A = this chain, B = another copy of it.
Amino acid sequence: MSMDRVFRALADRSRRRLLDRLHARNGQALGELCEGLDMTRQAVSKHLAILEEANLVVSRKEGRVRLHFINPVPINEIADRWIGKFERGRLRALADLKHRLEEKTDE
């Protein structure tokens, strides 16, 4: 999996909001996802395409609407593989920071 695409996809606030909406109710159509947003349908459509390329969203056409579903796998992999790495040793880093910032006089 390309972590880079996932990170890039998550970098945009509008796209994170779309994920939020799908998290609140999975399986929405493009039109529904546009409601109340200060963007054209085409802009939302592009964001969804980017989320799909990152594999964060999967869609399926049903009649004349296209339904969108969250794929939780990439978010989970970021949590496990990437964030997890930094969490190990987190307390050490924090103590380190405090030491460097607060007690700089006695080194």
| Interface, chain A (partner B; CB < 8 A) | 4, 7-8, 10-11, 13, 16, 19, 23, 26-27, 58, 60, 67, 69-73, 75-76, 78-79, 82-83, 85-87, 89-90, 93-94, 96-97, 100-101, 104
Minimum CB distance partner of A75 in chain B: B86
Is A23 a contact of B76 with CB atoms below 8 Å?
A: no
Grouping DSSP codes into helix (H, G, I), strand (E, B) and loop, the A interface class, with mixed when no group exceeds half, is helix
A76 to B82, CA, bound (A): 11
A75 contact from B27, B72, B83, Cβ within 8 A: B83
Is B7 a contact of A58 with CB atoms below 8 Å?
A: no
A11 to B78, CA, bound (A): 12
